């Protein structure tokens, strides 16, 4: 299951720096291209199931400095047997 999300951050540069450091510690999250003056951070979440997706999205939402997380796209496939 893959999702594209955009996290909107507070303008505080220290919180932005800490947020980006925290995200790099999460294997399922990949940060897209950003610039230093943007408060919007595009990301990809790549997990095995919807429960992990919910956990990852909730983790993002609860990080200091995160004002909102918008889910832009979700792709999932049924497991083949």
- pLDDT tens, residue by residue, 13-71: 999 999 999 999 999 999 999 888 889 999 999 999 999 999 999 999 999 999 999 99
CB-based burial of residue 70 (10 Å sphere; 0-12 exposed, 13-18 middle, 19+ buried)? exposed
Is the residue at 81 inside a domain?
A: no
Instruction: Identify the pLDDT of residue 62.
Output: 97
Name the domain count of the chain.
Answer: 1
In a domain, 24, yes or no: yes
DSSP annotation string for 31-77:
E----TT-SEEEEEEE-SSHHHHHHHHHHHHTSTTEEEEEEEEEE--
Q: What is the CATH number of the domain that holds 30?
A: 3.30.70.920
- Domain contains 10: yes
In a domain, 80, yes or no: no
Q: Is the pTM of this model over 0.85?
A: yes
Question: Is residue 38, in this structure, part of any structural domain at all?
Answer: yes
Q: Is the pLDDT of residue 77 over 90?
A: no
Provide the token pair at 63. Answer: 């990080």
Whether 43 is in a domain gets the answer: yes
Range of the domain at 23: 2-75
Domain contains 20: yes
């Amino acid at each position: 299951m893959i999702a594209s999300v955009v996290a909107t951050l507070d303008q505080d540069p220290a919180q932005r720096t800490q947020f980006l450091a925290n995200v790099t510690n999460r294997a399922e999250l990949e940060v897209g291209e950003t610039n230093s003056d943007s408060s919007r951070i595009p990301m990809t979440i790549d997990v095995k199931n919807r429960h992990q997706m919910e956990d990852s999205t909730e983790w993002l939402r609860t990080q200091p400095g995160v004002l909102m997380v918008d889910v832009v796209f979700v792709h999932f496939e049924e497991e083949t047997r």
